[in-house]
């Protein structure tokens, strides 16, 4: 199932307005506190580390470029044309390749798999922002990309993150500057129940090899100067 035009345009609008500088988007934290700790959890489960790695929902490519320094072939994929253009501008050395992809569209997922073969997949904080009717299709698309040899590392906000986000959004002074554009463009973070994620995974024919909890680090700060950190859960997946 492809996403709706409203959802697609919400992301196009968001990324068209997003600043070029790294760290100016709410979730665009530096790799040292995001993808690097995730790799420490993911790499022990990779049976074929040399497979192409797809950074699904890559946005402006901050994490993609880090991954490109660790794997031989990295593809940053995103639904938004504006995001992919941003990622390419931010990667003048061409460390990774980038492409527009709706992974919830079965034909698009199959086309990418036909081009690359089995892939490993990294996806951080994408499912909880997807439209409810598109979430199963997105996880199904990940299963297509994995094939028989690939592994996926998913990070999603836990249910406990929603009250934190709502507290920030409803503060007397309004949402913090980096969170405000998310709500202004109609993007609703923190909308997936913990058990629902496992339901999508099982329905896609995937097995959970490992899982745990970890804070998702953002680029925003509290009034006391400390980082806004959101409860999240991570899963390592393979074909059942």
Write the pLDDT tens digit of every residue in 99-147: 999 999 999 999 999 999 999 999 999 998 888 899 999 999 999 999 9
- Closest Cα to residue 125, out of 205, 183, 71, 55? 55
Q: Tokens for 148?
A: 């028989």
- Using pLDDT thresholds of 50, 70 and 90, give the confidence band for residue 198: very high
pLDDT digits (tens, 9 = 90+) for 12-49: 999 999 999 999 999 999 999 999 999 999 999 999 99
Tokens of 54: 């797809």
- The tens digit of pLDDT for each residue in 58-99 reads 999 999 999 999 999 999 999 999 999 999 999 999 999 999
Contacts of 196 by beta carbon, 8 Å cutoff, 6+ apart: 135
> Is there a contact between 100 and 84 (Cβ–Cβ < 8 Å)?
yes
Contact predicate 41/153, CB 8 Å: yes
The token pair that represents 71 in the structure block: 């794997």
Tell me the whole-structure pTM to 2 decimals: 0.95
Beta strand 206-221 with 97-100 is unpaired
User: Tell me, what's the pLDDT at 177?
Assistant: 87
Q: What is the pLDDT of residue 2?
A: 62
In this model, does residue 1 exceed pLDDT 60? no
> Which phi-psi region, left, alpha or beta, contains residue 120 (left: φ > 0; alpha: ψ -120 to 50)?
beta
Q: With 70 as the cut, is the pLDDT of residue 200 above it?
A: yes
Structure confidence at residue 190 as a pLDDT band (50, 70, 90)? low
């Amino acid at each position: 199932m492809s996403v709706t035009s409203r959802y697609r345009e919400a992301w196009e609008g968001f990324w068209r307005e997003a600043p070029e500088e790294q760290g100016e988007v709410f979730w665009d934290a530096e790799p040292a506190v995001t993808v690097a700790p995730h790799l420490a959890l993911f790499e022990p489960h990779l049976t074929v580390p040399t497979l192409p790695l797809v950074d699904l929902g890559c946005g402006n490519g901050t994490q993609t470029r880090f991954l490109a320094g660790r794997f031989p072939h990295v593809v940053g994929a995103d639904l938004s044309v504006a995001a992919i253009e941003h990622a390419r501008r931010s990667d003048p050395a061409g460390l990774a390749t980038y492409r527009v992809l709706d992974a919830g569209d079965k034909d698009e997922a199959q086309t990418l798999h036909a081009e690359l073969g089995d892939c490993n997949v990294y996806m951080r904080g994408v499912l909880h922002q997807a439209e409810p009717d598109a979430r199963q299709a997105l996880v199904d698309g990940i299963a297509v990309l994995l094939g028989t040899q690939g592994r996926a590392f998913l990070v999603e906000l836990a249910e406990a993150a929603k009250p934190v986000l709502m507290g920030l959004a409803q503060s007397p002074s309004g949402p913090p500057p980096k969170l405000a554009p998310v709500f202004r463009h109609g993007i609703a973070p923190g909308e997936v129940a913990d058990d629902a994620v496992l339901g999508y995974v099982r329905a896609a024919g995937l097995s959970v090899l490992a899982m745990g909890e970890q804070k998702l680090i953002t680029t925003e700060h509290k009034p006391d100067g400390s980082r806004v950190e959101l409860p999240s859960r991570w899963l390592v997946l393979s074909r059942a």
